[in-house]
Every structure is written in C-alpha cells, then in structure tokens.
C-alpha cells in the first residue's frame, strides 16, 4: 500500500538475521512471565510518569514553562525508560536476558497498539449493537436506522459522491498538470508545482476558513459581497447566492475544497512517475507516427498505471474519512452530511454512542475491500518483478 522506498523488505518468510548472541531462548514459564512484564512495565511507568505532571493542568503555572516541561517529559521520558529497562535486563542471567530483551523492545509498541487500536476496534463494534447510552443490547437497530432513516441515507449518498468525484478531479487535474509542466522549463515547472502543492501544508480547518472568503454570502442590501464567487456572480448581474445552502450543489462546493487540498499530492507523485517513463519509448512512438496525444495515452498512461492506482486509492481513503471540512463549513446542515462527520455529530453532539459506533464500523468495513484489492495487486506485482 505504501509507495516504493518502503517495500524492499516485507514481513514473512525470510530467515531471521543474526544479531549479537541470538539463539532460540528458553521458553519456560518464568521467561514468559518476564517477557510479558518487560513488555508492560515500561509503558505503565511512562504513563504514570506522564500523568504525574499534574501541575500541567494548573492554570496559574507559566505557559512557556509548562510547554518546556511537557516537551522534556514527553521526549526524555520515553528514551529514559527504554534505557532503564535495558539496564534491568542486563542484571538477569545471560540466557534469560537474551530471551526477554526482544520483548522489552517490541512490548511497549504492542501494548500501546492494543490499547489505542485493538481494544477500541472490538469495543466500538460491541457498542454499535447497543443503545445510545450503551446500557442494553439492541441488536441490529443502529445499523437498520443507518440504512433506512433519511439523515443517514443522505450521509451515505453524499460520502459516495465524495469518493467518486474527489479522486476523479484530484487525480485528473493532477495528472494533466504534471504532464503539461513536464514540457515547460525546469524553473517554471518547479515554481508552478510548488504553488499547486502548497495547500497540502494547510489544515482542513484552515482550508475551510480560506474558502469562507470564496463562498462568502450577504443577502441583497446587506453590504458588498466579500466572497469572490458572489462578487463575480453579482457583477454579471446575478442575485447573491448562498452557495453552501444550495442543495444538492453545496456538496460539490465542499468537495472543491478537498480537491484544492489533494490535487498537489497526486500531482507531485504522478509527476515523478511521468519522469520515470523512458524517453526511448516515447521517441519510438513518435517515430512510428504517434501524435503527442496518442503517445500520452498509449505509452505514458500504461507505464504509470500502478502509480495512478496508488494515488487514486490514497485520495479515495482520505476522502472517505473527510470530517473537518464539512464539520467546520456547514456542520452537516442543508443536506451536506457525510459519514465521518455524522459519526462525530452523533457521538459528540447527540450523545448517541450506538449510532456513532455503527457509523464508525461502517467507515472501517468499507475501506477493507479497497485495501485488500490493493494489497493483492501489489503482491502480484512483486511476484512478477
């Protein structure tokens, strides 16, 4: 799923390499107890250590000092704990120490993952079968509501609209732009690419504010239009339009924001893929009488198709989980709700745990097939390489 640099070594069958004095350790009960302890002691200590800094919540304490202490505790604390743990293991008998040490290295990561991802995934699934206060089991009620009540049906419909349209626009414009600037001078290329890519650095909330001054609306007689879209529209004689209240078009206006943010990403990745297409192939096509247009479709596109799929999937998954833009711009009103935002609204605003959890499960389940398809595709590519 990730792009090339990460892929030389994946998990699985390669035979374990040898580090210092590695040999299959003893597997007695004592060793296992020590292993589990070494995996857990450290994270528990770190957590206790963090929360001991209770004065971080003291409102009178100096803010800058709090920040400095927070940073030192957070950064130094973790390093210190690993070092201390290693020192402890050094005191064990050599054979036992050797068997226990890997767990002190891997353990904290596994403990944190279990608490922050494994346990919640299971728990959220359970909650999704319970009522809004998580007191009683209600069977499939929450799921039935999601698929029958219009609020959620609209949210699902909108989310589907987002995942279809946003990747098309972001990848399409990104690809077109990357292809075009490839033919310009290096300097022009790097400047224009930077400008398109720049929104990637902006938060979704920041982007919502940026577009507040694009879609801004004032009714007739309430002053000049300060949103550029209405300024242009009224300049051509139209009446001011509240863009974000025009169903169903308001969804498109919100999607534009995400396209604005994501195009730079797909453009940069596709651009490097395009530069990797051998010039010889393109030259051969031209000699055979192909136009630039034909060369692009018959040579460039097939050569970069796997990159297109990766970029497409990435933008698609980001889009599927879009929350901030809708939450800040419209709060999901006027028929703009999407699944990820509706999930937070149910859980946070309406305090309905069951429905929120069911929507979260829906978010989760829907991405699995996409990822499986991608992983399989990736595997078959690796195999034929």
Partner 1 sequence: MTTDTLVKKRESRLSRLPIYLTVGVIVTLWTIPSLGLLINSFREPRSIRADGWWTVFGEIFNSATWTLENYRVVLDEGFSNAFANTVAVSIPAVVIPITIAAFAAYAFAWMHFPGRNLLFVIVVGLMVVPLQMALIPILRVYTNLGVTGTYPAVWLAHAGFGLPLAVYLLRNYMGSLPSSIIESATIDGADHFKIFSNLIVPLSVPVLASFAIFQFLWVWNDFLVALVFLGIDPEVRVLTVELADLAGRGEGALNLLPAAAFVTMIVPLAVFFALQRFFVRGLTAGSVKG
Binders of partner 1 in range 40-99 (CB under 8 A):
47, 50-51, 53, 56-57, 59, 63-64, 66-67, 70-71, 73-75, 78-79, 82-83, 86, 90, 99
CB of 291 to partner 1, least distance (A): 12
Least distance CB 60 / partner 1 (angstroms): 11
With binding defined as CB under 8 A, does residue 123 bind partner 1?
yes
What does DSSP assign to residue 138? -
Span near partner 1 by CB under 8 A; candidates 114-122, 147-155, 164-172, 243-251: 114-122
- Alpha-carbon separation of residue 215 from 22, 93, 211, 339, 346 (angstroms): 63, 69, 6, 23, 27
Alpha-carbon 77 to chain mean position: 28
Residues 291-310 that bind partner 1 (CB under 8 A): none
The CB-based long-range contact list for 241-249 (8 Å cut-off, 24+ gap) reads 241/217, 242/217, 243/215, 243/217, 244/215, 244/217, 244/329, 244/330, 244/334, 244/336, 245/334, 247/334, 247/335, 248/335
State in angstroms the smallest separation of the CB of 160 from partner 1.
17
State the nearest-atom distance from the C-beta of 105 to partner 1, in Å.
4
- Find out whether 47 and 73 touch, Cβ atoms under 8 Å: no
- By beta-carbon proximity to partner 1, the closer residue of 10 and 381 is 10
> Does residue 6 bind partner 1 (CB under 8 A)?
yes
**What's the token pair of residue 357?**
């959890």
Q: Cα–Cα distance between 272 and 122 in angstroms, integer?
A: 40
CA angle 199, 186, 168 (to 5 degrees): 40
The interface with partner 1 within residues 226-245 (CB under 8 A) comprises 226-228, 231
Candidates 135-143, 149-157, 240-248, 365-373 — which segment interacts with partner 1 by CB under 8 A? Answer: 365-373
Stretch that binds partner 1, among 137-145, 150-158, 240-248, 364-372 (CB under 8 A): 364-372
Candidate ranges 1-9, 139-147, 150-158, 296-304; the one touching partner 1 (CB under 8 A): 1-9
Could you say which residues in the range 156-215 bind partner 1, by CB under 8 A? 173, 176-177, 180-181, 183-185, 188, 192, 194-206, 208-214
Q: Which residues between 147 and 166 bind partner 1 (CB under 8 A)?
A: none
Label residue 168 exposed, middle or buried (CB < 10 Å: 0-12, 13-18, 19+): middle
Distance of closest approach, residue 300 Cβ to partner 1, in angstroms = 14
Instruction: Look at residues 320, 319, 343, 341 and name the one whose alpha carbon lies nearest to residue 331.
Output: 341
Residue 373 as a binder of partner 1 (CB under 8 A): the answer is: no
Q: Which of 158, 159, 251, 314 binds partner 1 (CB under 8 A)?
A: 314
Compute the distance between CA of residue 23 and CA of residue 97 in angstroms, rounded to an integer.
12
* Binding to partner 1 in span 263-292, by CB under 8 A: 263, 265, 268-269, 279, 283
Number of chain positions touching partner 1 (CB under 8 A): 133
Q: Distance (Å, rounded) from C-alpha 360 to C-alpha 120?
A: 11
Q: How far is the CB of 201 from partner 1 (least distance, A)?
A: 4
């Amino acid at each position: 799923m990730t792009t090339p640099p990460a892929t030389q070594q994946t998990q699985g069958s390669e035979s374990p390499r040898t580090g210092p004095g590695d040999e299959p350790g003893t597997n007695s009960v004592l060793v296992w107890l020590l292993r589990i302890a070494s995996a857990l002691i450290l994270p528990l200590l770190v957590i206790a250590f963090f929360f001991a800094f209770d004065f971080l919540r003291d409102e009178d304490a100096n803010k800058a000092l709090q920040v400095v202490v927070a940073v030192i505790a957070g950064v130094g604390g973790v390093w210190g704990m690993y070092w201390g743990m290693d020192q402890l293991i050094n005191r064990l008998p050599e054979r036992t120490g050797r068997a226990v040490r890997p767990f002190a290295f891997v353990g904290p990561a596994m403990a944190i993952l279990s608490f922050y991802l494994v346990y919640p995934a299971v728990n959220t699934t359970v909650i999704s079968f319970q009522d809004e206060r998580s007191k009683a089991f209600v069977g499939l009620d929450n799921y039935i509501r999601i698929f029958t009540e219009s609020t959620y049906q609209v949210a699902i419909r909108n989310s589907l609209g987002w995942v279809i349209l946003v990747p098309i626009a972001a990848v399409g414009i990104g690809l077109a732009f990357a292809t075009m600037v490839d033919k310009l001078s290096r300097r022009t290329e790097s400047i224009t690419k930077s400008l398109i890519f720049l929104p990637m650095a902006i938060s979704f909330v920041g982007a919502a504010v940026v577009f507040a001054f694009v879609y801004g609306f004032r009714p007739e007689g309430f002053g000049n239009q300060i949103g550029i879209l209405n300024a242009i529209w009224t300049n051509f004689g139209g009446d001011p339009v509240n863009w974000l209240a025009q169903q169903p078009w308001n969804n498109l206006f919100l999607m534009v924001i995400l396209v604005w943010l994501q195009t730079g990403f797909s453009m940069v990745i596709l651009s490097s893929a395009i530069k990797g297409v051998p010039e010889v192939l393109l030259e051969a096509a031209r000699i055979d009488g192909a136009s630039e247009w034909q060369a692009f479709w018959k040579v460039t596109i097939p050569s970069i198709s796997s990159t297109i799929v990766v970029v497409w999937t990435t933008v698609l998954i980001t889009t599927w989980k879009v929350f901030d833009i809708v939450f800040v711009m419209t709060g999901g009103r006027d028929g703009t709700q999407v699944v990820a935002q509706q999930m937070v609204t149910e859980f946070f605003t309406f305090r309905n745990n069951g429905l929120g959890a069911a929507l979260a499960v829906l978010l989760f389940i829907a991405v699995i097939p996409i990822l499986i398809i991608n992983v399989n595709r990736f595997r078959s590519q690796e195999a034929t390489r």
